[in-house]
Amino acid sequence: MSAPLPLTAPAPRPTMPRWRALLLFDSKYTPLAITIALFVSMTVAGGIVYDGLLQPQIFLNLFVDNAFLLIVAVGMTFVILTGGIDLSVGSVIALTTVVSAVLVEHHGWNPWLVMPLMLLMGAAFGGAMGLLIQRFRLQPFVVTLGGMFLARGISFLISVDSISITNPVYMSIAEARLSLGGGCSLSVGALLSIGVLLAGIWLAHATAFGRSIYALGGSEASARLMGLPVAATQIGVYALSGACSALAGIVYTFYMLSGYSLHAQGLELDAIAAVVVGGTLLTGGSGYLVGTLFGVLILGLIQTIITIDGTLSSWWTKIVIGGLLFLFCLLQRLFAGLRRTRV
């Protein structure tokens, strides 16, 4: 270093184009590309084996039957992007269905009042968990596990039995369909889920809140040093997931027309599976909501194929999802390794 150094800074260095050539395809999109490729190949392969699979309504039914899962998975994606986890979502759905049913059926409340109230309840429940996690530096896993037991327990406390919903507003929403022509249609729940997905994508990529979520997942210490609102973002993400769970609960009541404390058992795990299969890293900071959509569609497609086949046990769904999860975790490790060696 003792040699005299040039006093003017070198112009754009010639090394730059080499990286560009090496990284024509930004590696951050690889997991997303794999998920989409998997869905497409599963659809094509399924379509070849099973005649009925490639009908448009079957495809639309993926949205209709998994609307609540997609809504929950959107909230879960945000939580996982910060490096956290939310195990309470299934129980919050159950709680929402039970409280809605009791308020509407037993107390005669106006459904249009109950629905926003449920959203508030979900957001408050999630926000409270977020506050515990943020304020007292608690593990998200344990806090939301507590939330999961709490919400499930409260719904049992309110009603042990299933309460069927006969309210005309719920009945008509449950039956309403948006016709897309050619005999194809979408339910209100499916439309809501697509709306939530679009809103989520907007939130993630066009707002400062969304970018703070990614920053938080990338490095909490750095986000703090950058002066980003780390605490508000972390609490906000759990509140958002809680609100998504409540909305999923409302959609679930349209779908099942009942409030029952055993509803949506284990759904939190399906949601996590969908997010992971969708290419989001459990360590946070990396992933896309579009990936989550395809994660949900892949889970739905497996179920659809098993239903169409008719001879396969429904447990095959679990086996295939299990296999896929292992595969994606391995892929994630592989990408993480590749990225590290490059830096």
Partner 1 sequence: MSDTAILQASGIGKRYAGVAALHDVQLTLRAGEVHALMGQNGAGKSTLIKVLTGVVAPDDGTIALVGEPIAPRSPADAQRLGISTVYQEVNLCPNLSVAENICAGRFARRRWTRTIHWSRVHEEAAAIMRRLDLDIDVTRSLSSYPVAIQQMVAIARAVSVSARVLILDEPTSSLDEDEVRQLFAVMRTLREQGMAILFVTHFLDQVYAICDRITVLRNGGFVGEYRTSELPQAALISAMVGREFALTGTDRQAVPTGEAAPLLTAQGLGRRGGVWPTDLQIRRGEVLGLGGLLGSGRTELARLLFGLDPADAGVIAIDGDERRWRAPAEAIAHGIALCPEERKTEGIVAELSVRENIVLALQARLGLRRYLSRAQQNEIAQRFVELLGIKTASIETPVGLLSGGNQQKVVLARWLVTEPRLLMLDEPTRGIDIAAKQEIMSEILKLARQGMAVLFISAEIDELVRVCDRIAVMRERRKAGELVGGSSEHAVLDLIAGTA
Q: Which of 14, 20, 24, 181 binds partner 1 (CB under 8 A)?
A: 20
Dihedral sign for Cα atoms in the order 161, 144, 238, 125: positive
The answer to the question of residue 21 lying near partner 1 (CB under 8 A) is no
Q: What distances in angstroms separate CA 107 from CA 102, 151, 252, one per listed residue?
A: 7, 21, 20
The answer to the question of residue 13 lying near partner 1 (CB under 8 A) is yes
Q: Which of 70, 74, 165, 228 binds partner 1 (CB under 8 A)?
A: 228
- Tokens found for residue 288: 């896309």
Residue 214 CB, nearest approach to partner 1 (Å): 6
Query: What is the 8-class DSSP label of residue 9?
Result: P
CB contact burial 247-272 (16+ within 10 A = b; e otherwise): bbbbbbbbbbbbbbbebbeebbebbb
Can you tell me the distance from the alpha carbon of 238 to that of 259, in angstroms, rounded to the nearest whole number? 24
Nearer to partner 1, 60 or 290 (CB): 290
Nearer to partner 1, 8 or 179 (CB): 8
Nearer to partner 1, 8 or 311 (CB): 8
Residue 23 CB, nearest approach to partner 1 (Å): 5
Nearer to partner 1, 61 or 212 (CB): 212
The answer to the question of residue 9 lying near partner 1 (CB under 8 A) is yes
Q: Count of CB atoms within 10 A of residue 323's CB? A: 10
The interface mask with partner 1, positions 277-316, x = CB under 8 A, is --------xx------------------------------
Nearer to partner 1, 13 or 137 (CB): 13
Can you tell me the distance from the alpha carbon of 198 to that of 218, in angstroms, rounded to the nearest whole number? 23
The answer to the question of residue 30 lying near partner 1 (CB under 8 A) is no
The answer to the question of residue 24 lying near partner 1 (CB under 8 A) is no
Q: Which of 47, 111, 146, 218 binds partner 1 (CB under 8 A)?
A: 218
Residue 212 CB, nearest approach to partner 1 (Å): 8
Nearer to partner 1, 147 or 278 (CB): 278
- Tokens found for residue 223: 């986000």
Tokens 């404390």 label which residue?
A: 261
The answer to the question of residue 217 lying near partner 1 (CB under 8 A) is yes
Closest CA to 281 of 21, 84, 40: 84
Residue 285 CB, nearest approach to partner 1 (Å): 4
Can you tell me the distance from the alpha carbon of 99 to that of 104, in angstroms, rounded to the nearest whole number? 8
* Residues 60, 190 contacting (CB under 8 angstroms): yes
Task: Show the CA angle centred on residue 292, arms to residues 313 and 75, nearest 5°.
Answer: 110
Strands (E), 143-269: 163-164, 177-181, 184-187, 258-259
Residues at the site binding partner 1, with contacts judged by CB under 8 A: 1-2, 5-13, 16, 19-20, 23, 26-28, 202, 205-208, 211-212, 214-215, 217-219, 221-223, 225-228, 285-286, 339, 342-343
